[in-house]
A and B are shown apart, each in its own frame.
Chain A
Amino acid sequence: MNRRDVLKSAALSALAASVPLAVPRWSMALAQDGSRIFTLAHPAGFPDLDPATSFSNDGAVLANVYEGLTRYIPGKDDAPATLAPVLATGWETSADGLTWTFKLREGVKFHDGADLTAEAVKGSIERTIRIAGGAAFIWSPVTAITAPDPLTVVFTLSSPQPLDVIAASGFAAWIMSPAAFDKDNAWFNAGNDAGSGPFKIERYEPGQRAILKRVAEYWGGTPDGAFDTAAFEIVEDAVLDQNMIEGGQADWTYGLAYENLDALKANPDLSVVVNPSFETLFGMYNTKKAPLDRPKVRQALSLAFPYDDVISAGTSGLGSRAKGVIPSGLWGHDPDAPVPNTDLEAAKALLAEEGLADSNLELVMTYATSDTLEATAGELWKANLAQLGITLTLQPMAWEAQWELAKSDPAAAQDIFVMYWWPTYVTPYDYLFNLFHSEEAPAYNLGYYSNPDYDKLIDDAAALSGTDRPKAEGMFIAAQRMVIADNAAVFMLDKPNIHIMRSDVKGYQDNPAYGHVVFLNELSR
């Protein structure tokens, strides 16, 4: 009997006189009455359910309602990452990597009864490109799409790109029924769908819940004991999410406080699934503003970062050391990257060398309001820097405001920009281009890093990644080491992917390429 139970029984006996004995339990479990309903306590809402423009948490719903041509299966232990066929059964590329041909699966029907055809694939992707919202840019290399026969689609590219990987993207790569080509954003966000996936949207109450129902005619297999219904309950408060999963009102959730995971692990009704994610946390140094325009000063700051403390305090030890910006599990990850370790003495020496010992430097770090991991990292780093005579001001900001500040004038912007990155589709280029490629008006290169050698190296690697992936990987790793050597950023940690679910749920596989998506069709009870 733990302390909470003691308090509980004390309170109960105190109130025994006034409270009827047959206490109705509000935590009465949906999950435990053998129901075929899978309930997700979802800590984020779904801003956009249009498969062409969705670029956020909506993937959690869309990935069960829509399908793409391929799906990325992450590498595990020694097994390399692969691409699994979904709507496409096979694909090939020309030797120059400029023409890609996909064979489509036969007998697939959309929820509205239409058949999957090459025209449907062509039309879906063309709609996405036409609207040009969200992650539509993933198709920018595509110059033409043709449908030589009902089950064959041919893409022509302007430059060699790994289109099979792009087609596995969690955003902007969904195939929809031709009936939806002329529908607007509002039609989808009213809760309508045009997918071919194992579930369809039965009811959508924006900001509150989405109810998904199994589609009987789904082409793929279904495990025994699979769920008929999935209820995404949008509860944006981690405290309530935790209560729901503990009380049996939810089968799955994420985003709970790391500090509480030990208690959850000890609960036999729950299982805590920890996996590496593709999300990595880093702080970009403002390379255009004194004193961080000097690489040695940046290096000193990186040496002062308390890597292990942040992992243990911020993630209860579940995160892992970042080896550069490419997280483990993704090709291009560099397990031997020469990243700095915490060493205050060395940092002090470097600062002295730069003439900045006891200089009372004042730096500003911006991060997203209400992100406790970023706040924790900031607070711990601040304490270390204080020992070097550096004052770090922690400035939590709304993401848009933080971004706006960073995009304005680098000379007036923050000194350190803290953010996460995750890939739109699984390629190292996505990280390396967006974050460190030279840009006139930077979108995400918010440390304003600029290195022509680096630019060329990753551009060349990208061109090779459709045809000669091992070679491309080597080049990406080399490029990443340039960034590390220049100390363009401090790589704080790789975030763990932690999901909590009821332990009677079977078949769960975490797929970091798709954020916090649950592939509901794989689950059973």
Chain B
Amino acid sequence: MSALVRRLGYGGTLCLAVIVSFALLALFAPWLAPYPDQGMGTPNVIAKLKPPSADFWLGTDHLGRDVLSRVIFGARVSMSAGLLIVAFSLLIGLPIGLLAGYFGGWADEALMRVTDVFLAFPALLLAVLLAAALGPGLLNSIVAVAVTWWPWYARMARAEVLVLRGQPYVEAASVMGVSQGRILIRHILPGAARPLLVQAALDVGPALLTASSLSFLGLGVLPPTADWGKMVDEGRKFFPDRWWVSAAPGITIFLLALAFSVLGDALRDREGGKRRDAA
């Protein structure tokens, strides 16, 4: 624990704790939510739009569902959206960056020009466009955001490879006749993947912010799945008179994004990474 504090500082450790608690909430939502069935979407019309009380700590929404339970179940969507966006982006970006950086030449030129095209779009706009084309649904919105994110990782992977390719041990392996594929996987991939993984961990916060924006626009999860962005949108109609419907999920997104951001800063001070803009 004290080692952690030394590495991350108090703020960073607190943020890590927040993130871990949200992860636990997401994982154990059915056991932790006071009304798991409502968290999963079962309406409870007789109790609709009730203010916070002993029964419903954060009040209820327009279908009478416990907002706290919805927020807890929403953590599943937001957490997995954040993680999957980053994972998909890595899955596309890392190989492309590796190939471009390792083989260079026209392959590099071609792949980098493709990333130029993707980076030329304002990111959220392309994501909205794709999400609309693919239709609503969590997976679709995740794919839509990932498509706009991978070029960053491709660029970063390429830059890492360019450095690693010149390392003596890589050149030695090449001279000794080790096959190119083997060099790429054995010698270059591990070195290039490390900084990318750190960056990816930092990007989970911005990723879930972007995903919640799509969800707010109605391009995210299908009802009745709980999602924070969507809950804010639904509650907007009742805001501010029945503020709890929007405020609870809104503040939750903010807190989690804040935790990722501060933790990111703490990590960055050590590892050196770049900040990513989100919407």
Contacts and interface: CB of A to CB of B under 8 A. Distances in A.
A238 B223 contact: no
B224 A379 contact: yes
A211 B167 CA distance: 72
Contacts of B48: 259, 313
Interface string B233-261: 01011111110000000000000000000
| Main DSSP-derived SS at the A contact region | helix
A369 interface: yes
A312 interface: yes
Given A259-B237, A396-B223, 20 more contacts: A238-B237, A239-B236, A257-B237, A259-B48, A259-B238, A263-B241, A309-B43, A309-B45, A312-B45, A313-B45, A313-B48, A313-B64, A372-B234, A376-B62, A380-B43, A380-B45, A383-B42, A386-B42, A394-B222, A396-B222
B273 interface: no
Given A259-B49, A382-B41, A369 B218 contact: yes
| Main DSSP-derived SS at the B contact region | loop
B238 A379 contact: no
Interface of B: 41-43, 45, 48-49, 62-64, 135-136, 218, 222-224, 234, 236-242
- Listed from nearest, the 10 A-B pairs whose CB atoms lie closest are A313-B45, A257-B237, A379-B224, A383-B42, A394-B223, A309-B45, A380-B43, A239-B236, A379-B43, A375-B223
* Interface range, A side: 20 to 34
B237 A239 contact: yes
A378 B43 contact: no
A395 interface: yes
Interface string A369-396: 1101001101110110010000001111
Contacts of A386: 42
A25 interface: no
A18 interface: no
A276 B223 CA distance: 29
Contacts of A383: 41-43
B43 A313 contact: yes
A4 interface: yes
A443 interface: no
B224 A382 contact: yes
Nearest to B44: A383
A4 B242 CA distance: 10
Contact of A379 (B63, B135, B218, B239): B63
A309 B136 CA distance: 27
24 contacts: A4-B240, A7-B240, A257-B237, A259-B49, A259-B62, A259-B237, A260-B238, A263-B241, A313-B45, A313-B62, A313-B64, A375-B223, A376-B63, A379-B41, A379-B63, A380-B43, A380-B63, A382-B41, A383-B42, A394-B223, A395-B222, A396-B218, A397-B136, A401-B135
B48 to A, nearest CB: 6
Contacts of A238: 237
A175 B190 CA distance: 76
Contacts of A370: 218
Nearest to B45: A313
Contacts of A372: 62, 234
A369 B242 CA distance: 24
A172 to B, nearest CB: 32
Contacts of B236: 239
A380 B42 CA distance: 7
Contacts of B242: 259
A165 B218 CA distance: 40
Nearest to A312: B45
Contacts of B49: 259
Contacts of A382: 41, 224
A396 B63 contact: no
Contacts of A242: 237
Contacts of A395: 222
Contacts of A263: 241
Contacts of B218: 369-370, 396
Contacts of B239: 239
A139 to B, nearest CB: 37
Given A312-B45, A370-B218, A379-B63, A394 B136 contact: no
Given A313-B48, A313-B63, A380-B45, A394 B224 contact: yes
Interface in A259-281: 259-260, 263
A239 B64 CA distance: 20
Contacts of A260: 237-238, 241
A102 to B, nearest CB: 47
